Chains A and B, each alone.
Chain A
Amino acid sequence: MTAIPMPQPTTPWTLPRRGPVGILLFILAESSIFAVFVAAYLFYIGRSLTGPTPREVLQFPVVMTVCLLSSSLTIHLATRALRNGALGRFLRYWLATVLLGAGFLAGTAREWHELIAEHHLTISTNLFGSTYYALVGLHASHVIAGMVMLLIVAAFGLAGRIRPVHVERADVISIYWHFVDVVWIVVVTVVYVIGR
């Protein structure tokens, strides 16, 4: 194949890295899934035949939102530290991200417990229950998936096995985590602002 006469000395041949491209394409698919859940939520606002209604039972989740939004910052600082070779700082920020994620999930658990035990709102109660648990649950399941990835890296980090060469993989998790974060902003807007 080297026998082909070439037009001119080609410019340096660089292509994007496959990890970030792969996760961005995956996020494209995930966005479409969330779009359907969000569309269903918006479509069914105010169409429940029975109570309880969102206004009666939902509180704006301040602590959860603060937890998740600040975890985007910590994971960004963690990957930047890893890129600079500051392994200790990387681990501290990464563990902070794990804690903030856990805080978010604890908030969801508390909210759901309150809704189910006190307000008797389940997924089969009315359309609000169906759409609420589906959309918030879909997002929470993505947070759980992200937490699994974060914990695996944290375990390797605590065992001293993470090196700056692994930064691309950490970047992939970081991009996914930012996506989960952005989706939460959409969910909060739809469920707790527009939907109430």
Chain B
Amino acid sequence: MTTTRFPIAAPAEESTPSVFDRLHEWVITVDHKRLGIMYIVFALGFLVIGGLEATLIRLQLAVPDNHVVSAQTFNTLFTMHGTTMVFLVGMPILAGFANYLVPLQIGTRDLAFPRLNSFAFWVTCFGGLLLYSSFLTAPALFGGAAAPDVGWFGYAPLTEPTYSRGNATDYWVIGLIIVGFGSIAGAVNIATTILTMRTKGMTLGRMPLFTWITLVVQCMILVAVSPLTAALILLLLDRGLGAHFFDTQAGGSAVLWQHFFWIFGHPEVYVLMLPGFGFLSEIIPVFSRKVIFGYPVMVAATVAIGFISLGVWAHHMFSVGMSPAANTYFAIATGLVGVPTGIKLFNWIGTMWGGRIQLRTPMLFAIAVLVQFLIAGITGVMLSVVPFDWQLTDTYFVVAHFHFVLVGSLLFAIFAAVYYWYPKATGRMLSERLGKWHFWLFLVGFNLTFIPQHFAGMLGMPRRVYTFLPERGLEIWNLASSIGVAFQLAGVACFVWNLIRSYRRGAVAGNDPWDAWTLEWATSSPPPAYNFAELPVVGSRRPLWDLKHPEDPDWQYE
């Protein structure tokens, strides 16, 4: 990366090279900022696709005995919706933010292994395309679906060749193995960068919290995504070579698959959610005009969440009939995760307490996360109580719970992050007016969709069933839930329009539009290919505060 001819999206440069040349530059790039943007654009594209799948699901469930889609298509829709949102939206968008921000925040010029970075992105991209190419195949004989329809957790023995005819499940298995390789390669790269390439003076204790959390998350990916890759390889051996790992007719165990899957699946929730906490930990201090409350405790809480989350997986399996000792252990461990998570919530409130809060769009989304994540956490602790879980597992109560985590908390945090860092990546501000429309429409839509699902679930509405019967008291909740989708779609439309329109017509941002304190705001917007002409030297957790206030630098107090 010695060239300075193509700084990202610099308007003056766009007239010279042809479209083809510019496309070629993006395809062969090893620049962490370009790859980061490609990850994010890839993920936002799949966010729209996954969202449309969810829209079809809600159309089907708007009224009882509906026939918008068939039962089989419904199975495909919820399978692909879940798989897409976790592997093709959540993972890549967070990999994109880590890619873009980590080298800037630690004051270096690229990741440790730039070509590995390019490999990781393209592997993820083609894995996703492979998964979706299953839609182009013909339905298999004996009623097998064209696209995967086994649920995003692919429970055995449903995924065995006996029960899943055709190649739909193979697309799912191989697609996820490939995407997993991309995640592991990316995690190795980003963690190595943080450990070995920090600029002078950037000790671990001075790293921005987003970078700290990213480090913990990458280590979790290494430990938790790899077991999924391993389990998928075993499943592939079953399907392709006739092995018997999960073949119950030859002595294989269906419960073993559940253990393997959730050893990945539960830490995965934190792999997705923790970067959201990282965004909040950057945004809330800046818009409260205060230093983060309890920095060391935030780091300790992150590490604690990382460790505890590795030992709670079987709370997804209370209803398979484990021993009382196992149930007790997993219930206690699950409740325990609430402690460091609660500490974080209080620290953000402590940061806002007494601050001069600026209600710009990123801050609005961040505040919504605090409230909605509290609800998600409370229903999570409720579900960790074994008898309660026995009653409500596989109902819409669980669906509502994890959508409050992954949409109400994570997606809101991602929106906050896009509004916060878009000016850095493009040099233009997003429109505040469209941003407020986006926020309020999405806030109303989200809550209208998912609050009623708690009640539908408590009334006994099961997950993953393509319709429901009338006269069971479920109509009103489902109809409200489906109406909420319209508001969410309108909100996302505002968001997409804002992204496109502001790219050319947004107000020019300048280097540091939010008067923030971390190093990414020290360079130009968008940053040049080399990030920093001269590598910065850091003396505290808020280097830009020190720069702006030489009379009262932070390092006096840390």
Chain A residues near B (Cβ < 8 Å): 1-7, 10, 13, 15-18, 21-22, 25-26, 28-30, 32-37, 39-40, 43-44, 47-49, 123-124, 126-127, 129-131, 133-134, 138
Chain B residues 250 to 265 lying within 8 A of chain A, measured CB to CB, are 250-253, 256, 260, 263
Instruction: Please determine whether B113 and A22 come into contact, CB atoms closer than 8 angstroms.
Output: yes
Select A5's contact among B234, B243, B536, B550, beta carbons within 8 Å: B550
* Set of chain A residues within 8 Å of B188, measured between Cβ atoms: 22, 25-26, 29
User: Given A7-B555, A123-B237, is A25 in contact with B224 using a C-beta cutoff of 8 Å?
Assistant: no
Q: Which residues of A contact B224 (CB under 8 A)?
A: 32
For the complex, give the distance between the alpha carbons of A33 and B225 in Å.
Answer: 9
Q: A29-B188, A32-B224, A40-B260 are in contact. List 19 more A-B contacts (CB 8 A).
A: A1-B522, A5-B550, A6-B555, A7-B555, A10-B200, A13-B200, A15-B197, A18-B112, A21-B112, A29-B226, A36-B231, A44-B253, A48-B251, A49-B251, A124-B243, A124-B244, A126-B251, A129-B243, A133-B243
A18–B197 touching, CB < 8 Å: yes
Q: Which residues of B contact A (CB under 8 A)?
A: 112-113, 184, 187-189, 191-193, 195-198, 200-201, 218-219, 222-227, 229-231, 233-234, 237-238, 241-245, 250-253, 256, 260, 263, 522, 532, 534, 536-540, 543, 546-547, 550, 553, 555-556
Q: A5-B546, A18-B192, A36-B260 are in contact. Are A124 and B226 (CB under 8 A)?
A: no
Q: Is the CB of A33 within 8 A of B227?
A: yes
**CB-CB under 8 A for A126 and B226, given A3-B547, A4-B539:** no
Main secondary structure of the interface of A (DSSP, over half): helix
Q: Which residues of A contact B553 (CB under 8 A)?
A: 4-5, 7
Complex alpha-carbon distance, A18 and B194, angstroms: 10
- The chain A residue with its CB closest to the CB of B253 is A43
The reply to whether A124 and B242 form a contact with Cβ atoms under 8 Å apart is yes
Interchain Cβ contacts under 8 Å between A and B, 5 examples: A4-B536, A5-B546, A25-B192, A26-B188, A34-B230
Chain B nearest CB: distance from A149 CB in Å? 15
Which residues of the other chain, A, contact B238 by a CB distance below 8 angstroms? 130
CA distance A148 to B35 in the complex (A): 29
Give chain B residues whose Cβ lies under 8 Å from the Cβ of A5.
Answer: 539, 546, 550, 553
> Complex Cα distance A116/B198, Å?
53
Q: State the CA gap A7–B205 with chains docked (Å).
A: 15
The residues of A that contact B256 with a CB separation of less than 8 Å are: 40, 43
**8 nearest A-B pairs in the assembled complex, by CB-CB distance:** A124-B242, A36-B230, A32-B226, A130-B243, A1-B536, A29-B222, A33-B230, A18-B196
Contact in complex: A32, B234 (CB < 8 Å)? no
Residues on B with C-beta less than 8 A from A28 are: 219, 222-223
A127 adjacent to B195 (CB under 8 Å): no
User: Shortest distance in angstroms between B191's beta carbon and chain A's nearest beta carbon?
Assistant: 5
Contact (A123, B241) CB under 8 Å given A29-B188, A36-B230: yes
Q: When the two chains form their complex, are residues A126 and B244 in contact, meaning their CB atoms are under 8 A apart?
A: yes
Given A4-B543, A33-B229, are A25 and B222 also a contact pair (CB < 8 Å)?
A: yes
Distance in angstroms from B461 CB to nearest chain A CB is: 35
Q: Which of A4, A26, A33 contacts B546 (CB 8 A)?
A: A4
A33→B252 contact, CB < 8 A: no
- Say which residue of A15, A36, A129, A131 sits within 8 Å of B227 (CB atoms): A36
Q: How far is the CB of B310 from chain A (nearest CB, A)?
A: 10
Q: Which of B225, B242, B251, B556 has the most CB of A within 10 A?
A: B251
Shortest beta-carbon distance, A129 to chain B, in Å? 8
Complex CA–CA separation, A135 to B42 (angstroms): 35
Query: Does the CB pair A3–B537 fall under 8 Å?
Result: no
Closest to B230 in A: A36
Report yes or no: B251 in contact with A47, Cβ–Cβ below 8 A.
yes
Q: Which residues in B have their C-beta under 8 angstroms from that of A30?
A: 226
Residue of B196, B224, B231 with most partner-chain A CB within 10 A: B196
- B196 & A15 in contact (Cβ 8 Å cutoff): yes
Shortest beta-carbon distance from B219 to chain A in Å: 7
Contact with A16, one of B189, B196, B234, B250 (Cβ below 8 angstroms): B196
CB distance A32 to B187 under 8 Å?
Answer: no
Determine whether the beta carbon of B189 is less than 8 Å from that of A134.
Answer: no
Cα separation A25 to B539 with both chains bound (whole Å):
29
Closest to B111 in A: A18
Q: Which residues of A contact B191 (CB under 8 A)?
A: 25
Q: With a CB–CB cut-off of 8 A, which chain B residues contact A1?
A: 522, 532, 534, 536-537, 543, 547
Task: Give complex CA distance A40, B243 in Å.
Answer: 12
In the complex, chain A residues whose CB is within 8 Å of the CB of B534: 1-2
